[in-house]
Structure formats: C-alpha cells, structure tokens
Structure 1
Amino acid sequence: MHLALSIDKASTTPPFEQLRMQLLAAVQDGRLPAGTRLPTVRGLATELGLAVNTVAGSYRALEKDGVIETRGRAGSFVAETGDPTATQLQLAAHAFAERAGQLGVAPDAAIKAVRAALAHS
C-alpha cells in the first residue's frame, strides 16, 4: 500500500494534524478500506521526516475516534466499524441534545444555536 502522504512544513497546521486529516480522508474516500494495515509508526515517521511521537500521536487520535485500531504487535489497521465520521457525528449530536435538555433549552433554540455555530466554523 502506498499513499501519497505529505507534510507541508510551512503550514500553520501542525504536522500531527496534517497527517491525521490525510489518513482520515483516505479512509473516508475508500483509498484505505476497512482492514487495511497501516505503515508502522517508525516507518511512516522516517518516510515523512517526522518524529516518531508525531506519527504515534496521529495514530492515537485516529484510534480514539474509532478510525483505526491497534492489534498489539500485529500493527495498526483501518477499523471495521463503518464510517467513523458518521459515528462521531452521532455521538456529538446525542451529547449536545442531552446537554441542551439538561439546560432546559427548547429544541428550536438548540437547533438555532447549532446553525449559528456551524455558520461561524
């Protein structure tokens, strides 16, 4: 497997985040299908000219979001759990709805707040 990953050292986006976003995009658009074994942390760090901890941090963030899974010495793989973005969006929506209810916010007001936040993001 060869992905065209690259890090823009001049970018204001940290390398950790650039790598995380590129891997997530590759999973979402199917270039990295479920079950695909990812490069080792050391190997990818060497290939991209990054510190091992930078790549490891990107992998940890993707694992936390359910995008990849680590299987011990076998390595890291794209998770079999479906679209991780949809899963994370649903979790966030449920958490928001629960919190809005705790605050006593009417559904229309909560939706208006979300629309305003999305317009400014």
Structure 2
Amino acid sequence: MIVIDPRSPLPPFEQLRAQLLDSVASGALAPGAKLPTVRRLAEDLGLAPGTVARAYRELETAGIIETRGRNGTFVSPQGDPAHREAQRAAAAFAEQVRALRLDPDDALAIVTAALRGPESSTT
C-alpha cells in the first residue's frame, strides 16, 4: 500500500517512485503486473496527475516499468533477455486465458503439455 506523507521532506513524486521501486524489488509487484492509470493513482493518493506521471516517467526511464500505449503501464520483466521474453509471453497468455474465461488450472495443464512436446499428447 502506498502512503504519501505530506510532512516528509521528500517530494510526493519521490515518495511514490521509491515506494513503487521497493514494491518491485520485494516482489510485491511482480514482473508483468499492471499498474493503475496515472489519473486513478493520483485520485487514490490525493495527488496531482502530473506528480504521478513524473514518478512513472522516472521509473520508465530506469527500466522498472513500461508503458504499452493504450494497454497501460506494467512492471517491466527483469533478468536476462530470454527470461524477460518468457515473462512477456506468460503475461500475454494469462491475459488471453482470463479473456477466454478458462480455469487457471486447465490453462497450466495446457502449458505443461505443450512444454513436454508433441509426444506427451500421444499417451
């Protein structure tokens, strides 16, 4: 939970930036997690949208978050390039599973079977 302390010597955008960074580092915000819109977060925290936008810009410049146009802002995948690409693919798959209203356990079984290869489907 993000809390902005108006008595802090740190400006609100820096408090927000630091708390989001801590949440990513601790795993509370996982790679691929969707962040609230600038306007929504500003409203929730009682901040000006420009304050939230500045924090988001700084985190994006640092590679911590990424904006995907109208799709929103997400926590950037971390680690090596293959791992990052796998995280992107997993996030896209999870989004499609939700859109199709599939049971998560069924979706995981489908992925497990696919990872085992075509020979697993002939049993």
Question: 1:41 corresponds to which residue?
Answer: 38
| Whole-Å separation in 2 of the counterparts to 1:81 and 1:72 | 20
TM-score where L is the length of structure 2: 0.63
TM-score w.r.t. length of structure 1: 0.64
Determine the structure 2 residue equivalent to 1:110: none
Find 1:11's aligned residue among 8, 13, 29.
8
Counterpart for residue 57 of structure 1? 54
Residue-pair matches, total:
80
Q: Which runs of 5+ in 1 are unaligned?
A: 84-121
- 1:76 is aligned to 73
1:82 deviates by 3.1
Q: CA separation in 2, counterparts of 1:40 and 1:63?
A: 14
> Matched residues in 1 for 2:74 and 2:59: separation?
11
| 1:28-87 deviation line (CA, Å, top 9, x unaligned) | 00000000000010000000000000000000000000000000000000001339xxxx
Offset of residue 23 of structure 1 = 0.1
Cα separation, 2, equivalents of 1:12 and 1:81: 31
Runs of 4+ in 1 over 6 A off after TM superposition: none
Identity of aligned residues (%): 59
